[in-house]
Amino acid sequence: SMEAAGWNALADQHQFAVVYAQQRTANNQLTCFTWFEAGDITRGSGEAESVVQMVDTMIAKRFVDRSRVYVTGVSAGGAFSAVMLAAYPDRFRAGSVMAGLPYKCATDAASASTCSSNPRPPEQWGDLVRGAYTGYGGPYPRVQIWHGSKDFTVPTANAAELVKQWTNVWGIDQAAEAEETISSATRTQHKAADKVAVELYMVNGMGHAIAIGTDAMGAC
């Protein structure tokens, strides 16, 4: 679905490289990323390590600037984008989480479906991210969050929890500095000094999908 969203055309136009990380049915029958299993969301292991190896291969083959690598995904891929930002904050400049969930909101398949009904204080959410790479003292990636207001697959409450998590990681105010209506979306921005560190686009009337201009594409 990410390929169909138009990334190839944008890559050709702006001359950047794109890696489409694809799940195997041997790992997940729905070919969705395993964004909740400890062995797959921990730095240096499982699916998280596999994605970084794909990135490294592309960097080597295409001479990509290591300081300008970004990650995005939708649904389970959105949740896994949050995984990559948490486990490898030194490797990604920024990321976009579409219809996703907070890092470590679930620890197994059984609890994955109850994420939205388990809100946590910002400090607890932030501690989960900080614990993903202990001893890390560098900057964290900027985070953009997209969610449809009528997403009944991944409830919109997860977007609010993602905002709590990443604003806490950044050590910035939970209250937004700016709010604006752009087309059918409401954009709220949380700033660190003079730059936007965390922002949320809540797309009015959209379901479980990727926002593309005035259209939306369904996600698995």
**CA angle centred on 159, ends 28 and 5, rounded to 5°:** 60
**CA angle centred on 214, ends 216 and 186, rounded to 5°:** 90
Q: Where are the beta strands (DSSP E) in the chain?
A: 70-74, 94-98, 142-148, 178-182, 185-192, 195-203, 209-212, 215-218
Catalytic residue status for 75? yes
Alpha helices in 96-212 (DSSP H): 109-112, 122-130, 157-170
- Residue 106 phi, psi (nearest 5): -140, 155
Which listed residue (1, 45, 67, 75) is catalytic?
Answer: 75
How buried is residue 166: exposed, middle or buried, by Cβ count under 10 Å (0-12/13-18/19+)?
Answer: buried
What does DSSP say about strands 94-98 and 142-148: parallel, antiparallel, or unpaired?
parallel
Query: How far apart, in whole angstroms, are the C-alpha atoms of residue 190 and residue 162?
Result: 12
Which sequence positions are flagged as catalytic?
75
